[in-house]
Amino acid sequence: MHGKQSTYPSRIVAIHTARRGTAYDPKGLPVEPVFGPPAASVEEFLDKARAEVVVELTPLNPESGEPAISHIRAAFARGLHVVTANKGPIAFAYSALRQEAIAAGVEFRFEAVTMDGTPVFNLVQNNLPGVEVLGFSGALNSTSQVILEAMRSGLSLEEGIEAARQIGVTEADPWFDINGWDSACKAAALANVLMNAQTTPQQVERKGIGRLTPAKLVELESKGKSVTLLSRARRTPQGVKLRVRAEVLDKDDILCACRGTSNLLVLHTDLMGDIGVFTLKPGLDQTAYGLFSDLVDIVRNI
Amino acid sequence: MHGKQSTYPSRIVAIHTARRGTAYDPKGLPVEPVFGPPAASVEEFLDKARAEVVVELTPLNPESGEPAISHIRAAFARGLHVVTANKGPIAFAYSALRQEAIAAGVEFRFEAVTMDGTPVFNLVQNNLPGVEVLGFSGALNSTSQVILEAMRSGLSLEEGIEAARQIGVTEADPWFDINGWDSACKAAALANVLMNAQTTPQQVERKGIGRLTPAKLVELESKGKSVTLLSRARRTPQGVKLRVRAEVLDKDDILCACRGTSNLLVLHTDLMGDIGVFTLKPGLDQTAYGLFSDLVDIVRNI
């Protein structure tokens, strides 16, 4: 993205890290900044950084959404716009954070949290005026797909985990992927934003891929079936129901079309029927682009 | 969409048809208007209609893009914004029409021309800032998909055409679909808008599905292969190259994932890699929504 700097001029004026220290330069830090001693707190860092937009990228605590939620609140309290690639705050506290952003008069963006920068939230917000999202079905967890593919070829679950580790897609603990917790966080994030569900990952009915065996997958494959870990949402009279489950589908179902790290989401809507988006084999570049597109969108809106 | 009238207030002040005559009412026509005698010309109609936006919906002459191109020019000449669901003008004359719209200070929208209202042009324009489209691959022709599916089940080409007629997806002449001309028009439209190709459907290398036999398709199916009519574009040092061809793909390729009338498009980009959109079994409602979303977008921009 460096080649586009002249079209989209911006400066990184400060970086605060967990392990490497903190760097400040109001004139703009270089690509390889020199880090000084760490700021005593995120609050101190934000006060010294004198930025306009905060980009929040801490690792997810998948049981609470912290510390990202507190970091975002600290930014809002200082009148700073926020972009995050962290699904926790959107899965656990979207409704409250959105209200706080509005009250503070700042923008809050998070396109990268569910599909590595593929337009999902912006798709609905910018391009589908008047459309109500009635539900969705998504293959959103790369690790489980890589593991299932390995198991379909006869490898064990453990060998599948190793394969996913080698291509760098697992969370620190692969069981967050295998037991469907990552998919539940993404389902909650999508439902909170697109369907005003006001839910949390704990409320998602969840069943992962841990009990599947290579023998079972090979047998299903021979019958023209395939297993995919899906996140689903639907509106019911009792509110939005969310479910994560390893589902057996016909192999030619588009929900099985994603191989490897690819992700796919179908939105079930009132006016546009079933429409979908996908990314083929995304990586960190796509996540970075999601942050960039959020930054551009904030500049357009302020 | 009638339920959303209060959120998106608008009036239809005049309708000009080829066969039923012309209707005017500056206060807004009812859902079932009474048509009077036809206007003597499109120019006379536009002068009497006193509209702000013209919605152009004439049937396509797939060899020239007329009469839609002339209708759009007549609207621009009167300072009117234009929305069209007609691929002809975009496939044959996009670059010139775009310049004319800019010169006239009016908006020109056409989201429904390639994928029945699924955001494609708006996706790139609104949600992918800074992204360059390097090429695309799309399954964009419903009729050929319905025919190929019929032939895979052992039916003849003629029976496949009849199946497509029954679900109402064929152009007036099904050979425009079968020989790839419709796909070529869509390829040219996409390339003109997304890649500034300044091309026409005549410049698309084209080979349809007419020579395929049920026996061949069944044989490929047994080998795990599938045939799909694809529109492809790529940038070369000699300019944008466009190709329409019935391609043999692995059955688990996402480009084969669309069954029936569903459409799918993969954009090959610099910053976002390969990202795609699709619609499952769209119909006239989706095309109508494409026009509606263009109207909303025009109101947002003026």
Active site residue A216: no
- Least CB–CB distance from B122: residue in A127, A296, A297: A127
A143: left (phi over 0), alpha (psi -120 to 50) or beta: alpha
Nearest to A229 by CA among A187, A192, A196: A187
Q: Check residue A265 and give its pLDDT.
A: 98
Reported confidence tier of residue B195, pLDDT bands at 50, 70, 90: very high
Which pTM does this prediction carry?
0.95
What is the distance in angstroms between the Cα of B37 and the nearest Cα belonging to chain A? 34
Q: Check residue A3 and give its pLDDT.
A: 67
- Residue B63 and residue B137: Cα distance in Å, rounded? 23
Look up tokens 């698309």; give the residue: B204
- Kindly state the average pLDDT of the residues A166-175: 82
Number of CB atoms found within 10 A of residue B28's CB: 11
What is the distance in angstroms between the Cα of A250 and the nearest Cα belonging to chain B? 11
Q: Which residue in A271, A285, A291, A296 has the most chain B C-beta atoms within 10 A of its own C-beta, making it the best mutation to test that interface? A: A271
Q: Extract the tokens encoding B222.
A: 């047994």
- Residue A215 and residue A202: Cα distance in Å, rounded? 31
Q: Check residue B275 and give its pLDDT.
A: 97
- Yes or no: say if A228 and A139 are a contact pair by the CB < 8 Å rule: yes
**A273 contacts B285? CB cut-off 8 A:** yes
Instruction: Using an 8 Å CB-CB cutoff, list chain B residues near A114.
Output: none
Beta strands B14-16 and A263-269: pairing type? unpaired
**A278 contacts B285? CB cut-off 8 A:** no
Question: Model confidence over A253-262: pLDDT tens digits?
Answer: 999 988 888 9
- Options A4, A27, A87, A186, the catalytic residue: A186
Look up tokens 């021979």; give the residue: A222
Higher per-residue pLDDT: A144 or B63: A144
- Residue B242 and residue A201: Cα distance in Å, rounded? 46
Strand ranges across the sheet with B274-280: A205-207, A239-250, A225-236, A133-139, A263-269, A274-280, B274-280, B263-269, B133-139, B225-236, B239-250, B205-207
Which amino acid, one-letter code, is at A22? T
Q: Which residue in A278, A279, A287, A299 has the most chain B C-beta atoms within 10 A of its own C-beta, making it the best mutation to test that interface? A: A278
Non-local CB neighbours of A88 within 8 Å, separated by 6+ positions: A60, A61, A62, A64, A65, A66, A68, A69, A185
- Least CB–CB distance from A279: residue in B273, B281, B296: B273
Query: Nearest chain A Cα to B120, which residue?
Result: A127
Instruction: Using an 8 Å CB-CB cutoff, list chain B residues near A4.
Output: 130, 271
Nearest to B17 by CA among B74, B71, B69: B71
- Residue A157 and residue B63: Cα distance in Å, rounded? 57
What percent of chain A clears pLDDT 70, i.e. is strictly above it? 99
What is the distance in angstroms between the Cα of A41 and the nearest Cα belonging to chain B? 34
Q: Extract the tokens encoding A201.
A: 């990952």
- Yes or no: say if A104 and A76 are a contact pair by the CB < 8 Å rule: yes
- Kindly state the average pLDDT of the residues A227-255: 95
Question: Model confidence over B75-118: pLDDT tens digits?
Answer: 999 999 999 999 999 999 999 999 999 999 999 999 999 998 99
Q: Check residue B9 and give its pLDDT.
A: 85
Question: Model confidence over B135-194: pLDDT tens digits?
Answer: 999 999 999 999 999 999 999 999 999 999 988 877 678 999 999 999 999 999 999 999
- Yes or no: say if A138 and A191 are a contact pair by the CB < 8 Å rule: no
**A258 contacts B273? CB cut-off 8 A:** no
Tell me how far the alpha carbon of residue A72 is from its chain's centroid.
Answer: 16
Q: Which value does ipTM take for this structure?
A: 0.94
Q: Extract the tokens encoding A80.
A: 């700073």
Reported confidence tier of residue B2, pLDDT bands at 50, 70, 90: low
Look up tokens 């910018």; give the residue: A126
Angle at A263 between CA A258 and CA A266, to 5 degrees: 90
Q: Average pLDDT of chain A?
A: 93
- Residue B121 and residue B277: Cα distance in Å, rounded? 11
Question: Model confidence over B4-42: pLDDT tens digits?
Answer: 777 888 899 999 999 999 999 999 999 999 999 999 999
Question: A38-42, A134-138, A298-302: lowest mean pLDDT where?
Answer: A298-302
- Kindly state the average pLDDT of the residues A241-267: 93
Non-local CB neighbours of B299 within 8 Å, separated by 6+ positions: none
Instruction: Using an 8 Å CB-CB cutoff, list chain A residues near B286.
Output: 272-273
**B130 contacts A8? CB cut-off 8 A:** yes
Number of CB atoms found within 10 A of residue A4's CB: 16
- DSSP letters along B157-219, please? HHHHHHHHHHTT-S-SSTHHHHTTHHHHHHHHHHHHHHS-----GGGSEEE-STT--HHHHHH
- Least CB–CB distance from B119: residue in A123, A252, A297: A123
Reported confidence tier of residue A2, pLDDT bands at 50, 70, 90: low
Q: Extract the tokens encoding A22.
A: 């903190």
The answer on pLDDT for A97 being more than 60 is yes
Non-local CB neighbours of A39 within 8 Å, separated by 6+ positions: A16, A22, A45, A48
- Kindly state the average pLDDT of the residues B217-235: 95
Question: Model confidence over A41-68: pLDDT tens digits?
Answer: 999 999 999 999 999 999 877 788 899 9
Look up tokens 């507190």; give the residue: A70
- Residue B33 and residue B11: Cα distance in Å, rounded? 13
- Yes or no: say if A29 and A13 are a contact pair by the CB < 8 Å rule: yes
3-class secondary structure, A178: helix
Bridge partner residues of A14 (DSSP): A24
- Yes or no: say if B230 and B255 are a contact pair by the CB < 8 Å rule: yes
Look up tokens 């008069």; give the residue: A105
Phi (first) and psi of residue B78, to 5 degrees? -100, 10
C-alpha dihedral sign at B29, B32, B36, B40: positive
Instruction: Using an 8 Å CB-CB cutoff, list chain A residues near B8.
Output: 129-130
Nearest to B167 by CA among B282, B264, B288: B282
Non-local CB neighbours of B184 within 8 Å, separated by 6+ positions: B91, B201, B204, B206, B231, B242, B244
- Residue A251 and residue B168: Cα distance in Å, rounded? 28
Q: Extract the tokens encoding A170.
A: 């697992």
**B279 contacts A275? CB cut-off 8 A:** yes
